[in-house]
Structure 1
Amino acid sequence: MLNEVESSAATPRPPLIGTPRLRCAGSRAKRMLDIVLSAVLLIVFLPLMLVIGLAVALSSTGPVVFRQTRVGLGERPFTMLKFRTMHHNTSVGLVDLLQADGHQLALRTKPRHDPRITAAGRFLRKGSLDELPQLVNVLRGDMSLVGPRPCEHVEHTTLSPEDRVKRVSVKPGMTGLWQVSGRSTITAEKAIQLDLRYVDDWRLRLDLLILLRTLPAVLRTRHAW
């Protein structure tokens, strides 16, 4: 289904949402979809989230929910929520870990075998279950169900001024083109290109296509770590 999106992005075309009135109407529809779906999903997944919270608490010491500042709409910072998947106050940093493993340091680099991740955390990451608390971020308006990846400030500052403005012109999302295009296997550069493509090609139909493709992408756990 996303082949249509990818082929259309390769050829220049006029904006899909042309007039300010239509852009505003599209934004309202997107926000309504976010509110309704995130509320429903929170109710549906609440029992599972309680079980996950208990598993995280029993598997290792530390807070159940991990909070981290990310760059949001209009470069406004917000606190993103996730279930904790790493050992609390680990002494091994990502830079040290990558260098010890012979990797070149790159933004968004994720080592496949990260000793900082707990046993429960590894399972949660496989199915993206650690991201369920972000439904709260969506419900309160920090994020959208679909959008660019919520990046950290250090990654955001590496972009060109034009790309920075474009990337934060919409809310970051729980899922997006990056999620349905390879998850952990895509490079940082490719992920940024997908984020920018999403902004250029946005329409409500694209959000619905991505949402439909997210579950199969999550179930293909070979692309996640």
Structure 2
Amino acid sequence: MNRAADNAFAEPKEAFPYKPPTEDIKKSYRYLFELDGPLPGRLPKLIFDKLVAGSLLLVAAPILLLLKFGYLIEGWILPENKGSLFFFYNAVSAGRVFRKYKIRIIKLKYIDPEGARRGDWMAYSAEWTPESRTVLGRFVKSFYLDEIPQFYSVLRGEMSIVGPRPLSVLHYERDREQGNVTRSLIKGGLLGLGHIHKGTSEMGNPIYEYQYVDQYIKRSPMGLLWLDLTIIASGIGVMVQGKGL
């Protein structure tokens, strides 16, 4: 195993860009820090989530079949790249632990099998190392196709289309220790006000999660749905650029 593989299970610095709440955030959103979540769901948002997740899973089914076939072919040509299409690690949404499924983009030698059995995010931490990725894995990551299985979590009610990104148990606990509360209040999402800034210096700025939770509470159910639609539109713009990290 090469040096990169030897260091595969060290946590990359880029994996946790989330910063603690500033004094301005604590002052401006003081009431959020006093809440004992999770907050109740909003019916239009819930209906929208399930309709979109179910529809997109149907649309994505042929893509997943093609990827499965492609993974089999790549594993036959390059044996070190073979392996399952999906994997999961334990993450937290609205304060509750669930299995966050994704498409595997790295070679098996970069995955810690014992950690994988526990659902430990650290088992897959090499994902941030470009040389660990399979040929198809690089393509999948570029266009965020590895996120497709999370629509299943949305359909199950464990996630939402829009919300703060659900973190692994390790990172959720770190986020809470830093003083952040947003991810304990509402369901994690595929997209969020913060996540659409991925790749910029604004990624990890907690202000966006607080702004969204504030609007989650203050807006009417339909007003919240409109906000979600605007965030989704921005997120699609990011995805089609093919700049997934």
Same fold (TM over 0.5): yes
* Alignment partners' CA distance in 2, 1:87 and 1:129: 17
In structure 2, the residue matched to 1:205 is 226
Normalising to structure 1: TM-score of the pair? Answer: 0.72
* Aligned equivalent of 1:38, options 53, 69, 88: 53
- Deviation by residue 1:96-136 (Cα, 9 ceiling, x = unmatched): xxxxxxxxxxxx9985x521111111111111011111111
The alignment status of 1:58 with 2:70, answered yes or no, reads no
Pairwise CA distance, 1:195:
2.5
Normalising to structure 2: TM-score of the pair? Answer: 0.67
In structure 2, the residue matched to 1:88 is 108
What pairs with 1:97-108 in structure 2 (closer than 5 Å)? Answer: none
Pairwise CA distance, 1:176:
1.4
* Alignment partners' CA distance in 2, 1:141 and 1:117: 31
Provide closer, same or farther for how the CA distance between residues 52 and 91 of structure 1 changes in structure 2, counting only shifts above 3 A. Answer: closer
* Alignment partners' CA distance in 2, 1:216 and 1:61: 32
* Alignment partners' CA distance in 1, 2:104 and 2:235: 22
The alignment status of 1:68 with 2:89, answered yes or no, reads yes
Provide closer, same or farther for how the CA distance between residues 86 and 27 of structure 1 changes in structure 2, counting only shifts above 3 A. Answer: same
In structure 2, the residue matched to 1:170 is 186
In structure 1, the residue matched to 2:119 is none
Aligned length: 188
* Aligned equivalent of 1:129, options 145, 150, 160: 145
Letter aligned with residue 210 of structure 2: L
CA contact (8 A) 1:87 1:116 kept: yes
* Unpaired runs of at least 5, structure 1: 1-8, 16-22, 93-107
* Alignment partners' CA distance in 1, 2:133 and 2:127: 12
Pairwise CA distance, 1:82:
0.8
The alignment status of 1:194 with 2:214, answered yes or no, reads no
CA contact (8 A) 1:147 1:170 kept: yes
In structure 2, the residue matched to 1:221 is 242
Letter aligned with residue 128 of structure 1: Y
Name the SS of the counterpart of 1:189 in structure 2: coil
CA contact (8 A) 1:83 1:131 kept: yes
Letter aligned with residue 174 of structure 1: L
In structure 1, the residue matched to 2:36 is none
CA contact (8 A) 1:146 1:172 kept: yes
Letter aligned with residue 93 of structure 2: G
* Alignment partners' CA distance in 2, 1:187 and 1:110: 22
The alignment status of 1:153 with 2:174, answered yes or no, reads no
Pairwise CA distance, 1:188:
5.9
Letter aligned with residue 168 of structure 2: E
CA contact (8 A) 2:91 2:167 kept: yes
Pairwise CA distance, 1:84:
0.5
* Alignment partners' CA distance in 2, 1:42 and 1:150: 20
